[in-house]
Structure 1
């Protein structure tokens, strides 16, 4: 059997995981069907390796959204990150990003609020965005009661969660509300054109191939596959000016890679302060697998440095792109 062209790009850890996925999956992920995809991607019980002073759940809004709070210390008036998990808008959970949120809280010296938004297709667009919007409003208006500094709140997310975080920033701008101090976007789902080169170069990439991504998109927006508005696909916005500074993370072997990098380029072109990092040798989803991929730890450390800078100054420290 001929190895895919991307095989030689993976580092040893990613190549081993890719082989395990190939052994477990009879075909592309989406061919398992909705319940099969959810069963396959369900996280193992979280390790909780990084100890927190406080971990507690909140219920926010109507309908109720579960939010998990992580605090590395009992200090009040701390900065905060609202974290939005990935999963193609269809899968994913608080437990799936538990250790990642702990590492961010410890590394960025902040509180983290992880959002358990409603999933498609049972709750299609804009349900997830409505939940993210409601949690952000709660976090900003209840900051004093939560022991959070309302002037130092960042938003972050991976994959679908990165797209939701980007959409939130657009929505806040268009409603003339304050921007976060940073938008941390890991391989964000921000476009629905599926046309940039990485979509063909890595069409059969591990875990998430091009057809898988299209399948997830249809679960989110319906069979027609058309974005109802620009908040579903932020790259379609007429302007990206006036948005929060951004740190954009991409994976080398990922159909979504070029979309995330094009979004970072466009942010920079329209006057937004941006840093961008492509992590070599890994594929989509690596960031949340912090106990498997050495590169994930590196990326988290880099992201925490960006967050600390943003919390300290309100701006990222360089404009490298």
Structure 2
């Protein structure tokens, strides 16, 4: 299927302005260019918690709910590319998530590359999750109903965290939502060749991030940098995986879902035709962005329904 016409106009416009040269810019310049689109969503109440220097969590509470009310929680890892602090610009998106799910959203703000490289930021996020679980009463969350939601680079971190938590015997995360995740630095895929340039995530930029964040390929085969090649896929949380047809990361995201399924993990996966990397950020501008967002939220909510209730609950996909 061809690229969605609305996205095609957007892509043509941004590439005319030099978007294809992102790999030649500094992180500061990239931050200016990769501004998130406004969603025109009223922000919900949010509180900041400092875990330690350079590691914090922002907790969003759904509208019209007292922040002391105990709710299920979703740990959110944004598509930072490991180099961009999106905490402030994610307020609208996290507010949308909080209201849509009726859950608290916990945005982890960890240190960024190039000052903080793999695997340091991964273990910072692990420490944040342990803190969140320990401080569940303070945060007003149900410690037995915690999920993780990661997009792009955040999907890489989210997937790797489920492996780390499993390895430490910590049954904290009940469900993982991975949105066009980056899960394999070690292999080429057809989608990486078919959509190598001109779809808002160029291979040149992926290579740039690998150079800056993962020591120029030193960790390609590491099962935490490339969770798809992790040797242990047992006892991982149920998963929702969303991929975009015109995305270089499409094939590895879908392969990750297939590998989870092969190890008896329940997975709901869906590819969205004519879409590109990052398309969920065009909520209320693209019908398929709304559909994908709703699909992910529905699956996450269903994951928290007790088994005996789920058997009697019809879920429309």
- TM norm structure 1: 0.89
CA contact (8 A) 1:239 1:270 kept: no
The equivalent of 1:76 in structure 2 is 69
CA–CA separation in structure 1 for the residues paired with 2:111 and 2:221: 18
Aligned length: 311
CA distance in 1, matches of 2:220, 2:25: 25
Determine the structure 2 residue equivalent to 1:3.
Answer: none
Which aligned pairs between 1:228-239 and structure 2 lie closer than 5 A?
A: 229-239=222-232
Match of 1:67 among 32, 57, 62: 57
The 1:224–1:274 alpha-carbon spacing in structure 2 relative to 1, beyond 3 Å, is: closer
Listed as ranges, the gaps of 5+ residues in structure 1 are 1-7
What is the aligned partner in structure 2 of residue 5 from structure 1?
A: none
The TM-score normalised by the length of structure 2 is 0.90
- Paired residue secondary structure (1:27): helix
Moved over 6 A (4+): 314-319
Alignment of 1:140-289 (within 5 A): 140-227=133-220, 229-289=222-282
Give the superposition deviation at 1:193: 2.0
Alignment of 1:23-172 (within 5 A): 23-25=16-18, 27-43=20-36, 49-52=41-44, 54-61=45-52, 63-72=53-62, 73-74=65-66, 76-172=69-165
> What's the secondary structure of 1:28's corresponding residue?
helix
User: Which residue of structure 2 lines up, in the alignment, with residue 4 of structure 1?
Assistant: none
162-171 vs 32-41, greater mean Cα deviation = 32-41
The worse-fitting range, judged by mean Cα deviation, of 75-84 and 269-278 is 75-84
CA distance in 1, matches of 2:172, 2:238: 9
Which among 8, 23, 43 is matched to residue 15 of structure 1?
A: 8
Q: Distance in 2 between matches of 1:179 and 1:264?
A: 20
Task: State the Cα RMSD in Å.
Answer: 2.4
Change (3 A) 1:240 1:179: farther
